[in-house]
Structure 1
Amino acid sequence: MVRQKAVVILFLVLLCYILGLVTAFYFPRQLGAVLTTVLHGKIRPFVVSRNFNETIGYVTDRKPGPALNGNASYLGEYAGQTSYGLITVQIPQHYPAGAPLDAGAIKKVESISYPAFLKFLQDRSAKPLVIWVHGYRLSFPVSTEYCAQIARDLDIDANVLTFDWASSESVLAYTRDVQQVPESTQHLVNLLETINNEVKPTKIIIIAHSLGCRLACLALQKLYENPSTRNLKLDHVVFLAPNVDREEFNQNFKSGLQALVKRLTIYVASDDNVLLLGKLLYNVDSIGLPEQFSPDTNLDEIQTFLYYEKQLPGKIDLVDVSFSKKDFLRKHRLFLERPVMEDLFWLIHDDYPAAKRHLLKYQGTHNPTDYWVIPP
């Protein structure tokens, strides 16, 4: 009996050692796949060990700029209409997950006609379609780089598309970007209608960040209010550090999310300083922050979840990434966090519920909740 226990302990120690090696070094993908099978699919292979050579589509409502080295460019100004194109991305093998892409990763930015863009999507309709909606202040190059990074770090066989709305390129232009969001909403509505009616991919997934979450909410509400599009269904909507005003969410967005979205997953951090600054400087009471502020109120995202759960019962999972220790800005840019991308992989690739992913369930309330924590 003692001997059997010793063998089991040695096996577990060896397994932990192997996991440590895979985390620290670059082993073949097959080894990661074996470990995933051994661990019943709850931990994804740690390193993407392949060259990433993909083409990403884009839709933008920015004004076109001058060509740069033969590539299309776009300005931080609203055009009033959409342009379409393709982005060729090449990222070398073993590029660290979560690391910012260098300028050389984007090989080509090509503007194409709407019919050519539609054919690009239709030719890939057998794959899930992931739509990235960026937050405030991003330029076209930075927005597309983030989309490329997400596509690479997710490492799933999906078609990825960036909806690039005409945000400014200044940290001081938050109010301008807030005013721009409703202007760009109809363009996202048109895109989703086209995808639903003419592309019909196996899955439709929206990943939105910060102020882009408000744009996504507005678009879904417009679709819900139109009887001809009310039957549209999105498999997953993912909000990363959502910058959506609480009162506006409560009054305007609940019905659209409830009707059109199969599952809403929200990633938050209790110490998201960017959202807190938004409240202090612009009086935006973001639903990514606690419901009330008082000496007895901790910046604890469980309050956020309880609020969401009241508004959309049984519809959401809230995932806390507060244990991921990053600098001031990266705490808000949750999509740069490797644990977030690992969790998104299982969510999008296999439709795993939170209970089957590598998450810990919060036990701090009397009633069961769908509030989860990414372990440190």
Structure 2
Amino acid sequence: MSLAGPADEGCAMSETLRLLIALLDLGPGLKDLLGDKWPAYSDELLELAGRAGRGDDPVELRRTLDALVQRLLAEAPAAELVERAVRPPAPTFGPEIIIRRGRVPPTGPTQIVRPSTDDVTGIVKIPVFYGTDRARGDDTPANYYTGRRAGPAFGIAEVSVPTRGRNVGELTGPSWWRLEFSQDPEKHVILMAVEMLGRDVFTASLADSLAAADQRDVLIFVHGYNVSFEDAARRAAQISVDLKFAGRTLLYSWASAADPKQYTVDEDTIEWSREHFEAFFRLALTEIGAREVHVIAHSMGNRALINTLERVRSWQLPPGAATLCQVIFAAPDIGRDRFVQLAEKFKGCARRCTLYASSSDVALMASRLVHGYPRAGEAGPALLVVDGVDTIDASLVDTSLVGLRHSYFGSKRSILNDMFGLIVQQLTPDQRFDLQATGDALRKYWNYRA
């Protein structure tokens, strides 16, 4: 067997995801045709979607998907429908798109915790101030927290992020096709250390660190389904570095099982976690001396955020509380109709609310397959436009936040490029270069320029 290079891996993943999206889109039709046999096939498709979202080995992913397709082709009622999905699309030609583009001892709580940069290696070390309701694991950073539920906990995770040889949005780790079997800080985003702190010490440490920051602003990241604590911390730090965020980075890591087969378990957990997230959110607004608070919630993590925003306008915040500035719903995995209900209640709670939608997001298509109704993060005919929220059809870019790993969008751009203009530069959609207005006065939204 020959080892695939980066281009080969990207090509293989692109075709695999095209096929997976096609099968997910056939879900309602296959359900009618296969009857009692459909639930087993549906479960396999959902598991594959979860594995694709995590960027699993593309060769193994394709092998499993091919086996599933062969079994579907053997089902007489569904064979013709599946065969059409398997058939590759006819080639299209258009204009070329030009694109812009070891463990470290934890810092003691009596010291001011701040990011640091090694000018020689280009490695940035980001302190991620976290809240979580995960159960403790062992003392290694990768297993410090599990996918089981527990009471609220707080602390600081130190993450190293390389700034050279890594594309915006890319969460680099060891790759089998490069024969990389260990983490290298000069190449990979690494969770270096985790230190759990009591709530009071955590709040004081964060307040001191924020007072010493270039800007007294905080960025809260809430991850989605099928994400471990390790990957959540790595993602939060990578986003902070890619956005060149000058304040402090916070993470709320709810107890996702980090298992693509546990979608319904994660659904139940995110609902259970809502009050814990709400308390963490209020802490950021009122107890650390922040000037502005920005929030990015991805996928299923939007459920905790949106259900909290529903009550924000009724909160009696103390004098000097932070301003809730940019609220970003990235590919929200919440029912479209439910989002519409809640949007009226949280309207005006932040300076600006932005929704990134996609017609090519595997996780959202899998969620629609489970629920039978469109998700708020879907584009296409189900694209959601509501008053008080800027909707951006990001189908041409990567709403998974994963950058090159999901290169099937036909572009190496990431919504993080646009978030830079939104959060750091405080630009409105009409001021951001990559966006163009679409629709009419009653249904105006934005999409990416080709």
For the superposition of Structure 1 and Structure 2, which TM-score range results when normalised by the shorter chain? 0.7 to 0.9
Structure 2 SS opposite 1:60? strand
- Structure 1 unaligned runs (5+)? 1-19, 24-48, 291-298
Q: Structure 1 length normalisation: TM-score?
A: 0.73
Structure 2 gap segments, 5+ residues each: 1-97, 102-120, 174-182
2:389 pairs, out of 312, 316, 319, with: 316
Pick which of 347-356 and 266-275 moved more. 266-275
Give me the CA root mean square deviation: 3.2
- Moved beyond 4 Å, runs of 4+: 20-23, 225-229, 329-334
- Mark the CA change 1:197 to 1:281 in structure 2 (over 3 Å): closer, same or farther: closer
Secondary structure at the counterpart of residue 347 of structure 2:
helix
Figure out how many residues of one structure are paired with residues of the other and give that number.
310
Q: Which residue identity is paired with 2:149? A: Y
**TM superposition shift of 1:348:** 0.7
Compared with structure 1, are the counterparts of its residues 260 and 200 closer, same or farther at alpha carbon in structure 2 (3 Å cutoff)?
Answer: farther
1:87 is aligned to 2:157: yes
Conserved in 2, the CA contact under 8 Å of 1:72 and 1:111? no
Whether 1:266 aligns to 2:355 is yes
Once the two structures are superposed, residues 67-90 of structure 1 have per-residue CA deviations (whole angstroms, 9 ceiling, x without a partner) of 117x770110110x2111111122
Whole-angstrom CA distance in 1 between matches of 2:447 and 2:391: 8
Deviation for aligned residue 1:375: 2.7
Q: Per-residue deviation at 1:213?
A: 0.7
- Alignment partner of 1:78 is 2:163: no
Q: Displacement, 1:332?
A: 11
- Other structure's SS at 1:235 match: strand
Give the one of 304, 315, 324 matched to 1:234: 324
Match of 2:66 in 1: none
The offset of 1:357, in angstroms, is: 1.0
Q: Does 1:190 align with 2:263?
A: no
- 1:121, distance to aligned residue in structure 2 (A): 2.0
1:153 match? 242
List aligned pairs for 1:99-118, cutoff 5 A. 99-102=170-173, 103=183, 104=185, 105-118=190-203
Tell me: CA distance 1:151–1:373, structure 2 relative to 1, closer, same or farther (3 Å): same
What's the CA shift string for 1:296-316, capped at 9, x where partnerless? xxx34xx524xx32xxx2x22
Determine if contact 1:359/1:372 at 8 Å carries over to the other structure: no
What SS class does the counterpart of residue 358 from structure 1 fall into? coil
Within 5 A, what are the aligned runs for 1:131-142? 131-142=220-231
CA distance in 1, matches of 2:273, 2:143: 20
AA aligned opposite 2:393: D
Query: Where does residue 367 of structure 1 map in the other structure?
Result: 441
Length-normalised TM-score, structure 2: 0.62
Q: Give, in whole Å, the separation in 2 of the partners of 1:325 and 1:165.
A: 23
Quote how far apart the aligned CAs of 1:120 are.
Answer: 2.3
**Does the Cα contact within 8 Å between 1:235 and 1:261 map onto a contact in 2?**
yes
Q: Which amino acid aligns with 2:415?
A: V
Distance 1:337 1:273 in 2: 17
Letter in 1 for 2:126: E
| Mapped partners of 1:325, 1:223: distance in 2 | 30
Within-5 A mapping of 1:4-19 = none
